[in-house]
Amino acid sequence: MDSCSYFTDFKDVNINFLGDEADMAVIKPFKALRPTKQSADKVASVPYDVVSTEEAKEIAEGNPLSFLRVTRSELELDINTDPYSPEVYGKAKENLDKLIKSAPLQVDDKEHLYIYRLIMNGRPQVGIAATFSVDDYDNNVILKHEKTRKVKEDDRTNHIVTTGAQTGAVFLTYKGVNSINQIVDETIKKVEPLYDFTSSDGIQHTVWMLQDERSRVVINEMAKVKNLYIADGHHRAASASRARAVKKDANPKHSGKEDYNFFLAVLFPAEQLKILPYNRVVFDLNGKSKEEFLDEVSEKFVVDKSKIKEPQQSNTYGMFLDGEWYMLLARDSITASSSLSKSVADTLDVSILQDFLLNPILGIDDPRTNKRIDFIGGIRGTNELEKLVNSGKAKVAFSLYPVSIIDLIKISDAGEIMPPKSTWFEPKLRDGLLVHLI
C-alpha cells in the first residue's frame, strides 16, 4: 500500500454536495492566453510555489520560453533582489509581454471550457479548466480548508495586478457528476488535443478544447452542484479576491461582469484525486539529548525501531533520528483524547503529531511561523528526510500517513481549518498552458 489517498468511494459517506439554487457554484468559459502546440512543452512550467528561486533558475536555464520567467521573474534579477519588490513584478510583466511575442502566446477568439488531463504512473486525472466566481469564493460557495499567509497573498496579488493575468490555476474538486464525466470521456475520444506532451518529471499533460454544445451541458449540470472545494491553491484564490478588490476600486464603471471577477481553476472529480503526505523536519531537539527526547516521546507514543519508513495506517508515524528509523504508535490515551474533540481537524494525524509531540516536546508552537520546522512534500519521499537529517541540516524527521479526501471535504463543510501543510497533491498542473487575462 503506498502513502497516498485517491479514487475514494463516496457511496457510504454523508457529505452534502447539493443544495439551494441560491448557493450554486458558477462556472464560466474564458478566452485563454496560451502557447502554440509546438511551444507548449517549452512554455509549461511547474507551479511557482513548489520551487525555490535557485531551483527555478536551474530549471529555466537554457530555455527562454520557460513560464517560470513570468511566475518567478526574480530568477533573472540580481541574487540580492528582494523577491517581493516592485522590480520583480515589473519584470514579470515585461517577461510576459516578451513571451507573448516570442513563444508566441495567443488569446482564443471565443470563450471556451477546456479539459486538462494529467497521467502519472499510468493513473489519469481529468479536470475542467474554466473561470470561477470570486463572489463564490468570498461567500463560501467555494470552500477552504487552510489559512493563508499575508506575505504570500501580497505576493500573488501584486503579481496578478501588475501582469494583468492569473498565471496559475487553483486546484478545485467536487463529487464527480456522471453526465459531466461522460462529456469529458467523449471529448477525449473524439477531439484532437490542443497539447499532448510529457514533462521532464514523467507526467503526461494533455489539453482539449470543449465544444460549445458540450460546454453548455457542463454549465447546466454544474448549476446543480452546491459547493466546490479548494484542494490546492488557497493563496492563488485569496489573491484573486484581493486583486478583484483593487481592480474594482479603480473602475468607476464596475459591473461585476469584468474578467477580474473570476479566477482561473481546474475542477477535478474528488474520486480521482491522489493525496500524498506532507512530512516534517525539525532542526533541533529543543535543547534535549537524544535519550531525553525519546523518553518524552515514549510517554505519548509507543516507540519501536523499524525498517518501515512510511506509516501504513492512521495514528502511526515514521521518525528518523540519528541515522535510524522508528515507528511511533499513538497511545490509547492520545487517540481517545483526540476522538472526544468535536473538531474533525483535531483527529487528523498531523494534528495529533503537532499537539502531542511537536508542540509540547519540541516547542514548535505555531508551525506557520516557527522557523525551526520545515515541510517536505510527499513526492520527495523518505530519502529527502534522511538526506536532511544525515547532512545535519535537520535533527529529526517525521513521515506521516496521508489525509483522506473525505476528511478534507468534511473539514471544509464544517468551516474548520487543517493544520498548515497537511496535504500534498500530485501530479501538479503546469503553469503557462492556460492563462486568464484580467
Write out pLDDT tens, residues 163-179.
Answer: 999 999 999 999 888 99
Q: What are the structural domain ranges in the chain? A: 21-274+426-437, 278-401
Greater confidence, 286 or 17? 286
Phi (first) and psi of residue 321, to 5 degrees = -145, 125
Q: Which residues of 34-58 are buried (b: 16+ CB within 10 A; e: fewer)?
A: bbeeebbbbbbbbbbbebeeeebbe
Q: How far apart are CA 36 and CA 105, in angstroms?
A: 7
Q: How far apart are CA 247 and CA 420, in angstroms?
A: 30
Cβ atoms of 130 and 225 closer than 8 Å: no
Q: Residue 15: its pLDDT value, please?
A: 40
Q: Residue 18: its pLDDT value, please?
A: 37
Give kind and range of the element (H or E) at residue 27.
strand 27-28
Q: Residue 66: its pLDDT value, please?
A: 98
> What percent of the chain lies above the pLDDT cut of 90?
84
Q: Residue 19: its pLDDT value, please?
A: 38
Is pLDDT of 263 > 60? yes
Q: Residue 339: its pLDDT value, please?
A: 67
**DSSP bridge partners of 118:** 125, 205
Is pLDDT of 21 > 70? no
**DSSP bridge partners of 266:** 129, 171
Give kind and range of the element (H or E) at residue 358.
none
Q: Which burial class, exposed, middle or buried, applies to 222 when counting CB atoms under 10 A from its CB (0-12, 13-18, 19+)?
A: buried
The three cell numbers locating residue 37: 502546440
- Residue 172, SS3 per DSSP: strand
18-32, 224-238, 319-333, 344-358: least confidently modelled range? 18-32
Cβ atoms of 334 and 301 closer than 8 Å: yes
For cell 471529448, name the residue.
187
Query: What is the tens place of the pLDDT at every residue in 349-405?
Result: 999 999 999 999 999 999 988 999 999 998 889 999 999 999 999 999 999 999 999
Residue 92: pLDDT band with limits 50, 70, 90? very high
Is pLDDT of 278 > 80? yes
Q: Residue 368: its pLDDT value, please?
A: 85
The three cell numbers locating residue 68: 517560470
The three cell numbers locating residue 79: 541574487
Best CA proximity match to 104, nearest among 168, 24, 43 = 43
Q: How far apart are CA 417 and CA 167, in angstroms?
A: 26
Phi (first) and psi of residue 222, to 5 degrees = -65, -25
The three cell numbers locating residue 377: 512534500
Q: Residue 344: its pLDDT value, please?
A: 86
> What percent of the chain lies above the pLDDT cut of 70?
94
Best CA proximity match to 404, nearest among 145, 180, 204, 228 = 145
Q: What is the residue-averaged pLDDT of the chain?
A: 92
Is pLDDT of 438 > 70? yes
Is pLDDT of 17 > 80? no
The three cell numbers locating residue 186: 467523449
Residues 6+ apart with CB under 8 A from 139: none
Cβ atoms of 432 and 36 closer than 8 Å: no
Give me the DSSP letters along 349-388: HHHHHIIIIITTTT----TTT-TTEEEEEGGGHHHHHHHH
Q: How far apart are CA 241 and CA 138, in angstroms?
A: 7
CATH of 278-401, one of 2.40.10, 3.30.1760, 3.40.50, 1.10.10: 3.30.1760
Which one-letter DSSP state was computed for residue 266? E
State the pTM of this model: 0.88
Q: How far apart are CA 433 and CA 136, in angstroms?
A: 25
- Report, as an integer, the average pLDDT of 202-216: 94
Cβ atoms of 393 and 283 closer than 8 Å: yes
**DSSP bridge partners of 137:** none
Report helix, strand and coil shares of the chain as percent, to nearest 5: 35, 25, 40
Is pLDDT of 139 > 80? yes
Cβ atoms of 397 and 280 closer than 8 Å: yes
Which one-letter DSSP state was computed for residue 175? -
- Residue 108, SS3 per DSSP: coil
The three cell numbers locating residue 116: 486538462
- Report, as an integer, the average pLDDT of 173-193: 93
Q: How far apart are CA 60 and CA 39, in angstroms?
A: 14
Phi (first) and psi of residue 207, to 5 degrees = -130, 135
Query: What is the tens place of the pLDDT at every residue in 417-436?
Result: 998 889 999 999 999 999 99
Give kind and range of the element (H or E) at residue 243.
helix 234-249
Is pLDDT of 10 > 70? no
Q: Residue 23: its pLDDT value, please?
A: 66
Q: How far is CA 3 from CA 131, 179, 372, in A?
A: 32, 31, 25
Query: What is the tens place of the pLDDT at every residue in 345-364?
Result: 889 999 999 999 999 999 99
